Amino acid sequence: MERVELADSLRQGQALIQQLEAESGVTLTECYQCGKCAAGCPVAFAMDYTPRQIIRLLQLGLGEEAIKSHTPWLCASCQACYTRCPREVNLPRLMEAVRQEARRRGVIKEKNVEIFDRAFLDSVKRYGRSHEMGIIIQSNLQSMQPFKDVMLGPPMFFKGKISPLPSKIKDVANVKEIFARARAKRGNKH
């Protein structure tokens, strides 16, 4: 009969909980599972686990399941859950910590979200602000769907909503410095 090392997996589960709590500033036991977060989340319909369920998985030491979930990648960081939560559980920050851990483990369940995130951050790093057209082109090419939403381009251009040329802020060097500091903090990863 195969031996199950329960003590080991419990220890690993506990270590993951402590790491995610430290990174997000969230104390998981603060959540009493009322479900107000899930009820107000605009993206819950598309998630495999609701925000409340993600917390429950973590509380039960099933962090691996949370990390493998689509939910953290679909979270739009809109803060609706945090605003509604009677226990002030900062779910958007917890979702970010779960995403970071999923990145470290190479378990990215929504590749296109990751590609879009990177295109957005590249743009902010380069210009100090987002250049929408550049972000769309970069993320469409990298996600192998070059013509996605292409018909929306001309009307948005003629209404002045997007521009082919990026505009830079004056102190873009400061923004680059912020990126460098964030990278150094994470040991040059990502």
**What residues make contact with ligand SF4 under the rule CB under 6 A?**
31-37, 41, 43, 51-52, 55, 75-81, 84-87, 89, 91-92, 95
CA distance 137 to 104: 26
Least CB distance from residue 117 to ligand SF4, whole Å?
14
Least CB distance from residue 70 to ligand SF4, whole Å?
12
Q: Which is nearer to ligand SF4, 95 or 136 (CB)?
A: 95
Least CB distance from residue 39 to ligand SF4, whole Å?
8
Compute the C-alpha angle 59/68/144, nearest 5°: 150
| Surface-to-core class of residue 158, CB atoms within 10 Å of its CB (0-12 exposed, 13-18 middle, 19+ buried) | exposed
Q: Which is nearer to ligand SF4, 37 or 113 (CB)?
A: 37
- Convert 8-74 into a string of H (helix), E (strand) and C (coil): HHHHHHHHHHHHHHHHHCCCHHHCCCCCHHHHHCCCHHHCCCCHHHHHHHHHCCCHHHHHCCCHHHH
Least CB distance from residue 159 to ligand SF4, whole Å?
28
At 139, list the tokens: 């993320």
Least CB distance from residue 161 to ligand SF4, whole Å?
24
Angle, helices 111-127 vs 172-185, to 10°: value is 130
Q: Which is nearer to ligand SF4, 44 or 136 (CB)?
A: 44
Q: Which is nearer to ligand SF4, 93 or 126 (CB)?
A: 93
Q: Which is nearer to ligand SF4, 30 or 171 (CB)?
A: 30
